[in-house]
Amino acid sequence: MGVVSIVILAVAVVALAYLVMLYNNLVQVKHNVSKAWANIDVLLKQRHDELPKLVETCKQYMKFEQDTLQRVVDARSRVFAARESQDIRALGPAEAGLRASIGNLFAVAEQYPDLKTNQTFLQLQSRISGLENAIADRREFYNESVNITNVRIEQFPDTIIAGMFNFKPAPLLEFDSTEKTDVDVKELFK
């Protein structure tokens, strides 16, 4: 085997190793998106499980606020449907609706002194608020993972490998403009 053959073989091995490394990195960033979604999904499920307890606790006190409670239940159903179908585009608006209805529920609860001092209500309110914060953190991590994946599959030479192995861009978890604006606290207490 001559020197030229050895050089060609070495270049081929290095090129193959580089392509394998690119492929493995693309697989890793793709799975980071899946992992980030799974983290959000767990928190959404936990919140989904906690909301009926909160609604039931409120029902005991808020006999005349059925409309507020029904909006929470309906919004919860929309989030559940989007989560179960993994429809990330539908999840954003559903989440916005759920957060708004929970905010309204907490605002209306201010009118019921017995409810505000109920230990179960306070614990559930704190738990759901904590879950909301955790979901926001995980949503940020998910979108960062999506961004890294989407950039990688568009960059050269990764785009060649991504095209060969059918890597697809992932959707960002986006929210409508009302989700990004400040809350009108005065409006919540009407």
35-39, 60-64, 65-69, 106-110: least confidently modelled range: 60-64
Using a 10 angstrom Cβ sphere, with 0-12 exposed, 13-18 middle and 19 or more buried, the burial of residue 175 is: middle
Q: CA 62 to CA 56: how far, in whole Å?
A: 10
Distances (CA, A) of 10 to 2, 5, 21, 64, 157: 12, 8, 16, 79, 20
pLDDT for 95 equals: 86
Q: Does domain 3-188 have CATH number 3.30.428.10?
A: no
Judge whether residue 121 has pLDDT over 90.
no
> What's the average model confidence in pLDDT over 53-82?
82
> What's the average model confidence in pLDDT over 83-95?
85
What DSSP line would sit under the chain, residue for residue? --HHHHHHHHHHHHHHHHHHHHHHHHHHHHHHHHHHHHHHHHHHHHHHHHHHHHHHHHHTT-TT-HHHHHHHHHHHHHHHHHHHTT-HHHHHHHHHHHHHHHHHHHHHHTT-HHHHH-HHHHHHHHHHHHHHHHHHHHHHHHHHHHHHHHHHHHSTTHHHHHHHTT--PPPP----HHHHSPP-HHHHT-
Average pLDDT of the chain is 84
Where do the structural domains in the chain lie, given as residue ranges? 3-188
Backbone angles phi, psi at 167, to 5 degrees: -75, 130
pLDDT band, residue 63 (cuts 50/70/90) = low
pTM for the structure as a whole: 0.69
Query: Residue 126 has which token pair?
Result: 């704190």
Query: Residue 79 has which token pair?
Result: 């989030």
If phi > 0 it is left, if psi is from -120 to 50 it is alpha, else beta; for residue 6 that is: alpha
